Structure 1
Amino acid sequence: MSAKKNPAARALPVIVLCAVLGTAALSALALLLGVAIDGYLAGGAGVPDAWVAAAVAALLVAGAAAVATPRLVARATAAQEAGDRQAVLLKYFTLGQGYTGARAGGELVSLATDAVEKRARFRAGFSAPALAAVLAPILVVLAIGVFIDPVAALLLAAALPVIPLLVTGFQKLYRTSSANYRRSQGMLAASFMDTLNGLGMLRLNNAEGAAGARIAAASERVRRQVMKLLAGNQLVLLVIDATFALGLITGSVVLAGWRMGGGHISPGQAVAMVLLSTLMLQPVAFVGGFFYIGMTGRAAEREITGLLDTDPGIATEVAPGEGEAPGHAGGLAVENLSAGYGGRPVLQGVSLQFPAGSHTAVIGASGSGKTTLVRVLQGQLTPAHGAVHDGSGNTLGPLQLRAASAVLDQGAGLLGGTVAHNLRVGRPDATDGELRKVLGRVGLEALGLETPVGEAGHGLSGGQAQRLGLARALLAARPVLIIDEPTSDLDPDTEARVLETLASATGEKTTITVTHRLGLLSGCDRVAVLEHGRVVEAGPLDQVLAAGGYLAAALAASRAGTDSNPRGDA
């Protein structure tokens, strides 16, 4: 993410400058105090007005820096976190189901939440103040060399490389612990999400105890890794306090006394030198934080960078708003398409036509590749080979496909909240009148816009949930409607009502209904039959049936077994 697009990157130099100005103001106060001490020892009646003005100015600058720096840090951290989270989520959408589906959901959640927070805290909340703290000793040494004693400044400068050397050494020592901590945390998130998603199944099988034990074990691994990092943190603080902080203060006192005894500096300058040497300890305050915030932040940064650098393999990907989405006159065409998950092929050499305004049923048994095809058409999955075109032959990337298609999945995908909230997912700017109109089109006039839907649509019947999902898809006003197993969990009467709604509401859209159910052929004018990831039959429905091939035989067998299989499953 470039500085042009990331406000946090623009804020970092401002934070460093603000902190450095604060250090310069404190240095000026120490020097002014030395001047006042020398004046008092020389028998002066008081401090001049210029001294008072300089001291007040330095106090104001130091106070302003102390107030402004943490506020700038907080704003930069929030901006960094928001920008990183957007980049991660957009990358997930770009990589699609082929990437996210092959990884544990908990790990992805951990990356998009905890890792993003740690990276933002490291980049914006830690790096800039730490850089300013590293610059502070250099500024102090320069002040001592210019205003007090060049020889003393050179001797104090010898201490400057100590902290970077200690930090580098301890960083190498604890790098493995930091990486193990991030892995353990990802495993804990994955275990928790798996248990949460399968809670109903676990309760039915009396397996809650075993699942709880797995989460407890994962939590214990995280706790141990955190304790290792904290133990390393305390060890670092102890070593640095003993070898650097105490040594620097003691050395500066001895150095000041030696130079004052030799007549090279005044008593006031000696006091100022000791006070200035305390400002050289600013990096020590960040060393302890480096081994928790810094190392975990860098580990999180490696994870996020690895994700953002992942090649999506999408030659036709475009930014939102670029390119043309397929219109009613264009339809869709799939050419020599191969796709799968994690290198495992599911679709192989699939070529299909979806003419504009047609309603095509994609039929096949479970495992035939229907879901994989629909994910490609939705822009969720990047094909390994082949492409999707509009009617003019233009290649469509995933973003273009997502912009052109409305989707009705078998689970409807409803959110907790109201009917209006769910409908506006399809079109956020829709008016209440438009919402009521689309509800009427799908036979849900009785539902008020403020009717609560319940978590995952549990406040509605199965038929109401499916029709509300259809209303949302219709409201999006996109030329392609993709329907995936719309009646798989419905009883026959509810299924009939949903199918009737589909037939009357889809209108002139290019509609693709993906199912393993032969009963959904009614209302379709085209059909494509998949078997083991390949197309075995495709074309206008009447022509495919007249050919007397696979579909005709399956349909005849289904009708012959109507009494035992009233829903007409393939």
Structure 2
Amino acid sequence: MGEVAVPDRTLRLAGDSYDREYSEPQIARRFATYARPHLAAALAVTALTLAGAGLGTGFQVLIARGVDTVARSVRPAALAALIAAVVLVGAAQWAGGALAAWLSARLSADMILGLRRDAFAAVLRQESAFFDQHPAGGLVSRVTTDSEAVSGLVSQTFAIAGQVVLILCMLGVLLSIDLLLAGVTILLMALIVVVSFVHRRVSRRWSRQEQRAVGRLNALLHESVGGLPVARNFAQEGTLYAALDRANRQWFAVSRWTRLLQNSFFPTMLTATGLGTAAIVLFGGHQVLDSRLSPGQWYLFIQTLSLLWWPLMNLSSFWGQLQQGTASAERILSLVDAEPRVRQSGHARLDRDTSIEFRNVGFRYSSREAVLDGFDLRIATGETVALIGHTGAGKSTIVRLIARAYEFDAGAILVGGHDIRGLDADDYRRRLGIVPQAPVLFKGTVADNIRYPCPGATDEQVLAVARLVARGDWLAPLARGLETPVGELGRNLSAGQRQLVALARLLLQDPSILLLDEATASVDPLTEAHIQEGLEVVLRGRTVVTIAHRLTTVRRADRIVALRQGRIVEEGRHDDLLAAGGYYADLYDRYFRHQAPDFDPQQPKQAVR
């Protein structure tokens, strides 16, 4: 691949708002909690790792001493005993290493399973606002890609522990041979450790940037694949490709520097250890010539020294992988620790009273101008209220606050006379039904999606509620009736059919409060008629708040609330407000008048009602 020119500022990727930084001890303590349920396996891996390091050292010492023994007196029995001992120790080391690797892999998988469960649970407890701010692809990347990197971190931890023990054992052998030469070796090792720690700090920073770049690329891929049909309709495939190419190049630029740091470190350490070995050989050779060290001791020292450098270099080479795993651990732990802004602090349950009241409520999406400021509204039990207004008037905000998608900043919202924050979250969600403009269906059949809020519902119950919606006329066009597969996100069904499935699902749920974002806003007249028939059944006897875009919706409402910039301008019934000739009448002429069946463009405004 050719050189990619990326400005330095593009390599500094900002994290998400919930990202945190954790020290290595903090990460270790957190992962210890995931290892605790598998303590027996962790202890077994630790014991086998320590035993393997000891056997590795003993294996080399055994050969060295055996060579000295054979050199002094070659006896067949001694040689046979030496060979047997070497074979036994080598076999034990191999068997212990294989068992440790198997247990380590299993332990790592069990720990990552628990970590992924916690990460997914953290995603589930977030409010809807969280998903407005953070792309789904980035969250998926944390749960999958980052957890895979963390899995490698767990295995590396045991490998590093074994290398550290092996180094300590080797140092013990060196110190037993010659204190002066061992001291020189320790100084060289200290220099290598210092360089390793400097490298660790730089490598971790770049590894963190790389994981962020991967997350952004995954998020963009997720968005691009989902939006490809729209891009194709506008002949904008090139735009999608260009955006993906920019993200990919950004990842490449960051990844290149990360790999450069990781891959250059091992050759540097190899050169340093080679020079160190040469220095020790030269210095030890002079000691042999001066008779301060025997040739056998010098040979054993060099052999042990060569074995010492290898685990030390392995330990150093682990730093790059360790930093990538640590960066991924930070990202996934940040998700696990992300606290939802919307919190339910009580366990109150709704009874027959499902009234809704806003008392002096204030809300803003960010530090910019407030969307609601001192807002008051009361909706009686069983009342249908239609919210209308221009874009940005606050209609969706009111519905989202009732649905607990966002936390309000001031005032109080009461539902059934209870503070909405003091309601039992699960009970409130069961009593609350929501129908957006574009309902979400899950992969499966039509029946599966209707049954979604009540998994235990029988086929007869599902068929019954399906027939209540538009008298069941919508079922005939379905290829296999209720067993028709809906496809991914319901793409096998038309927009109107998806809405009808959503209404049937709502009937099976049987909520007490309904929040509707104009279910008929983007369908044809025939489908709208079916949906309106379904809505008549769904709305009966329930408290309803609907965002109105259709004339049929505002006419059906018990009360219309006209909003402008987060404030109520007018409220009342359709005919009364139209007769008043105020703000609602102006909205009616702009948005609803042409929807009347007897609409005549030549008639004066407000003549058609």
Matched, 1:341 2:365: yes
| Pair 546,169 (structure 1): closer, same or farther in 2 beyond 3 Å | closer
Larger CA deviation: 437-446 vs 46-55 = 46-55
Give the Å deviation of 1:411. 1.0
Matched, 1:486 2:519: yes
User: Counterparts in 2 of 1:283-302, with a 5 A limit?
Assistant: 283-291=312-320, 293-302=321-330
Matched, 1:243 2:262: no
One-letter code of the match for 1:129?
A: A
The match for 2:196 among 135, 158, 167 is 167
**Using the alignment, how far apart are the partners of 1:236 and 1:531 within structure 2?**
63
The match for 1:513 among 542, 546, 549 is 546
| Pair 135,261 (structure 1): closer, same or farther in 2 beyond 3 Å | farther
**Using the alignment, how far apart are the partners of 2:600 and 2:221 within structure 1?**
39
| Pair 163,417 (structure 1): closer, same or farther in 2 beyond 3 Å | farther
| Pair 250,121 (structure 1): closer, same or farther in 2 beyond 3 Å | farther
Q: Which residue of 2 aligns with 1:458?
A: 491
The match for 1:416 among 443, 468, 475 is 443
**Using the alignment, how far apart are the partners of 2:322 and 2:462 within structure 1?**
50
Matched, 1:101 2:132: yes
Q: Which residue of 1 aligns with 2:399?
A: 374
> Are 1:334 and 1:353, in contact at CA under 8 Å, matched by a contact in 2?
yes
> Are 1:30 and 1:272, in contact at CA under 8 Å, matched by a contact in 2?
no
> Are 1:325 and 1:403, in contact at CA under 8 Å, matched by a contact in 2?
no
**Using the alignment, how far apart are the partners of 1:65 and 1:548 within structure 2?**
89
Where do 5+ consecutive residues of structure 2 fail to align?
Answer: 1-28
| Pair 397,75 (structure 1): closer, same or farther in 2 beyond 3 Å | farther
| Pair 116,508 (structure 1): closer, same or farther in 2 beyond 3 Å | farther
**Using the alignment, how far apart are the partners of 2:459 and 2:285 within structure 1?**
78
Q: Which residue of 2 aligns with 1:21?
A: 51
Q: Which residue of 2 aligns with 1:224?
A: 253
Give the Å deviation of 1:372. 2.1
**Using the alignment, how far apart are the partners of 1:21 and 1:274 within structure 2?**
21
**Using the alignment, how far apart are the partners of 1:333 and 1:253 within structure 2?**
88
Give the Å deviation of 1:556. 7.2
Q: Which residue of 2 aligns with 1:531?
A: 564
Matched, 1:389 2:414: yes
> Are 1:365 and 1:516, in contact at CA under 8 Å, matched by a contact in 2?
no
2:359 counterpart SS class:
strand
**Using the alignment, how far apart are the partners of 1:324 and 1:205 within structure 2?**
50
Q: Which residue of 2 aligns with 1:405?
A: 432
Q: Which residue of 2 aligns with 1:204?
A: 233
Give the Å deviation of 1:485. 1.9
| Pair 284,532 (structure 1): closer, same or farther in 2 beyond 3 Å | same
Q: Which residue of 1 aligns with 2:60?
A: 30
| Pair 464,2 (structure 1): closer, same or farther in 2 beyond 3 Å | same
| Pair 26,556 (structure 1): closer, same or farther in 2 beyond 3 Å | closer
How far does the alpha carbon of each residue in 1:204-262 deviate from its partner, in whole angstroms, 9 at most, with x for none? 33332233233223322322322222222222111101102663587479759968996
The match for 2:101 among 70, 75, 89 is 70
| Pair 173,556 (structure 1): closer, same or farther in 2 beyond 3 Å | closer
Give the Å deviation of 1:526. 4.9
Matched, 1:140 2:170: yes
Give the Å deviation of 1:285. 2.5
Give the Å deviation of 1:163. 3.4
Where do 5+ consecutive residues of structure 1 fail to align?
Answer: none
Q: Which residue of 1 aligns with 2:536?
A: 503
2:371 counterpart SS class:
strand
One-letter code of the match for 1:405?
A: L
The match for 1:326 among 341, 350, 362 is 350
> Are 2:384 and 2:544, in contact at CA under 8 Å, matched by a contact in 1?
yes
| Pair 454,194 (structure 1): closer, same or farther in 2 beyond 3 Å | closer
> Are 1:30 and 1:276, in contact at CA under 8 Å, matched by a contact in 2?
no
Give the Å deviation of 1:294. 3.1
Larger CA deviation: 363-372 vs 272-281 = 272-281
Larger CA deviation: 412-421 vs 196-205 = 196-205
**Using the alignment, how far apart are the partners of 2:281 and 2:327 within structure 1?**
37
Matched, 1:181 2:214: no
Give the Å deviation of 1:335. 3.3
One-letter code of the match for 1:30?
A: Q
**Using the alignment, how far apart are the partners of 1:513 and 1:359 within structure 2?**
8
Give the Å deviation of 1:132. 3.7
Give the Å deviation of 1:482. 2.5
**Using the alignment, how far apart are the partners of 2:272 and 2:234 within structure 1?**
59
**Using the alignment, how far apart are the partners of 2:359 and 2:447 within structure 1?**
39
How far does the alpha carbon of each residue in 1:314-333 deviate from its partner, in whole angstroms, 9 at most, with x for none? 4x446xxx834534445544
| Pair 462,185 (structure 1): closer, same or farther in 2 beyond 3 Å | closer
Larger CA deviation: 20-29 vs 429-438 = 429-438
**Using the alignment, how far apart are the partners of 1:426 and 1:130 within structure 2?**
49
| Pair 2,478 (structure 1): closer, same or farther in 2 beyond 3 Å | farther
> Are 1:184 and 1:218, in contact at CA under 8 Å, matched by a contact in 2?
yes
> Are 2:70 and 2:79, in contact at CA under 8 Å, matched by a contact in 1?
no
**Using the alignment, how far apart are the partners of 1:155 and 1:121 within structure 2?**
38
**Using the alignment, how far apart are the partners of 2:600 and 2:524 within structure 1?**
13
2:516 counterpart SS class:
strand
> Are 1:252 and 1:277, in contact at CA under 8 Å, matched by a contact in 2?
no
One-letter code of the match for 2:358?
A: V
**Using the alignment, how far apart are the partners of 2:294 and 2:468 within structure 1?**
91
One-letter code of the match for 2:466?
A: L
One-letter code of the match for 2:407?
A: T
One-letter code of the match for 1:426?
A: P
1:326 counterpart SS class:
coil
**Using the alignment, how far apart are the partners of 2:98 and 2:214 within structure 1?**
35
**Using the alignment, how far apart are the partners of 2:148 and 2:238 within structure 1?**
32
Give the Å deviation of 1:499. 2.0
1:281 counterpart SS class:
helix
Matched residues, percent identical? 25
> Are 1:332 and 1:388, in contact at CA under 8 Å, matched by a contact in 2?
yes
**Using the alignment, how far apart are the partners of 2:134 and 2:86 within structure 1?**
60
**Using the alignment, how far apart are the partners of 1:268 and 1:537 within structure 2?**
99
Matched, 1:6 2:23: no
**Using the alignment, how far apart are the partners of 2:396 and 2:559 within structure 1?**
18
Give the Å deviation of 1:187. 4.3
**Using the alignment, how far apart are the partners of 1:184 and 1:161 within structure 2?**
35
User: Counterparts in 2 of 1:520-559, with a 5 A limit?
Assistant: 520-521=553-554, 524-537=557-570, 553=585, 558=592
> Are 2:360 and 2:374, in contact at CA under 8 Å, matched by a contact in 1?
yes
**Using the alignment, how far apart are the partners of 2:535 and 2:35 within structure 1?**
47
**Using the alignment, how far apart are the partners of 2:448 and 2:333 within structure 1?**
35
One-letter code of the match for 1:213?
A: A
Q: Which residue of 1 aligns with 2:310?
A: 281
One-letter code of the match for 2:440?
A: G
TM-score, reference length from structure 1: 0.80
One-letter code of the match for 2:169?
A: L
> Are 2:593 and 2:599, in contact at CA under 8 Å, matched by a contact in 1?
no
Give the Å deviation of 1:466. 0.8
Give the Å deviation of 1:504. 1.6
